[in-house]
Structure 1
């Protein structure tokens, strides 16, 4: 089955910051998408969209035709419309895979799914990051070195206010001695979520071969393995153990 991947990019820094435009002349979302395509090949059909598209490019039709949504945002989280967040949230619960990158930890959709502040510690002073694999048997860790060495990167450090991950795959260390849970998975409803922190706009991290491999592995893992279906609450009659009847929730008649 071909995995239908949509890379969502905020596309703000590239428009106003020449340094970022020099690193990512076609936009960070395009660079991220290229890394997924080069690693997954015929396994995936990769497209992109941005914040400024109508409905942020995340219409009902687009989401229904997407298996995995990859999310990068930073400077304009507040501009994402709440009704679009509601829509993405519903699709994740029904089985849409979600890969959240770097500063997407503060996106509305990630916060909604985590139920916490998702706050962390940070420093942007061209640190070196070492990404250590702590779960080498996980599919997302396949084919990546131990550690991944990123010579220029923003520091993210603990405490990272997220729920305890279902799986911790990567742990990063930085020049100042900080540590960070940099690769985590979660399940919400029928959807699988992968958070991966390397990838600040000020550094060429999304050109890094091993970072691109991890993101592609995360997309492959997050792709749903069952038909898309929103969990519902149904009323069951005595003697019928298989079929719910006419009851969709405590608010609806």
Structure 2
């Protein structure tokens, strides 16, 4: 069975009553709930748990890790980031949400600043599906419209994506590559833009459907990781060094 861990720094929920009212069980709790309703085995982990809740045992048994962070990127231990990176290279899927674009793990995997323009002005966002045949867009119409969201605008300093799934338009005029995929080692990575903490974005059924689809898409492929380093020849090399 597919096993998912939803990670959230869980700071806004503790400090901002608006956020705690929208997400009384935390953003991680809301996401875990709709994944569980889909029949996906889901657990949660948060920043202030020992090892940020991402122990060796948890990571070893996680097929897909969902990541939400904002206020406390720098508090994530570098050793934990290295372990998550290694698991992605080994085949674990990673879904990075909203302000997780600035997380240590996403920047490590991208190798760029991952910077962008932003604005909080209660703007309408329209996420256009630009890859309608992709598994992540299954069950989604031509676009998803959110009445209010934080604006993220181009240029988004990320590497050229393997696939562009969604492009957002905002009421103030900006556009943004809001759904992109990458392959890193054996692992699949999907970044999905919506999810500012003071809006009920993760209660939107179409946003939930995208995350559910992405988790299923990102699950590990059954294959062994390639062997690296010095290799013995498969065939006899005539005239070669003995």
* TM tier relative to shorter chain: over 0.9
CA distance, structure 1, for counterparts of residue 65 and residue 167 of structure 2: 23
- Secondary structure in structure 2 of the residue aligned to 1:177: coil
Q: 2:75 aligns with which of 79, 96, 100?
A: 79
Q: Match for 2:231 among 233, 236, 251? A: 236
> Is there any run of 5+ residues in structure 2 with no aligned partner, and where?
237-242
Q: CA deviation at 1:237?
A: 2.6
Query: 2:186 maps to what in 1?
Result: 190
Q: Aligned with 2:29: secondary structure?
A: helix
Task: Give the total of aligned pairs.
Answer: 236
8 Å CA contact retained: 1:148, 1:210: yes
For the Cα contact (< 8 Å) 1:36–1:213, is it kept in 2? no
Are the aligned partners of 1:68 and 1:219 in contact in 2 as well (CA < 8 Å)?
yes
Q: 1:134·1:169 contact (CA, 8 Å) conserved in 2?
A: yes
User: Whole-Å Cα distance in 1 between the matches of residues 23 and 14 of structure 2?
Assistant: 10
Quote the residue 2:52 is aligned against.
Answer: 56
1:166 matches 2:165: no
Correspondence for 1:32? 31
Question: What does 1:200-215 correspond to in 2, within 5 Å?
Answer: 200-215=196-211
Aligned-residue offset at 1:115 = 0.2
Shift, 1:240, TM fit:
4.8
Contact 1:96 1:228 in 2 (8 A): no
- Separation in structure 1 between the aligned mates of residue 210 and residue 232 of structure 2, nearest angstrom: 48
CA distance in 2, matches of 1:15, 1:148: 30
The Cα offsets for residues 210-239 of structure 1, whole Å up to 9 and x where unpaired, read as 00000010000000112463x442322345
Aligned to 1:199: 195
Q: Which residue of 2 aligns with 1:106?
A: 102
Change (3 A) 1:50 1:236: same
Q: Is the 1:35–1:213 contact (alpha carbons within 8 Å) kept by the matching residues of 2? A: no
RMSD across aligned positions (CA) = 1.2
Q: In structure 1, what is the Cα distance between the partners aligned to 2:234 and 2:144? A: 57
Where do 1:216-227 residues align within 5 Å? 216-227=212-223
2:128 is the alignment partner of 1:132: yes
Q: Which residue of 1 aligns with 2:15?
A: 16
What SS is found at the alignment partner of 2:87?
helix
TM-score, length-scaled by structure 2: 0.95
TM-score normalised according to structure 1 size: 0.91
Between the aligned partners of 1:197 and 1:176, the Cα distance in structure 2 is 17
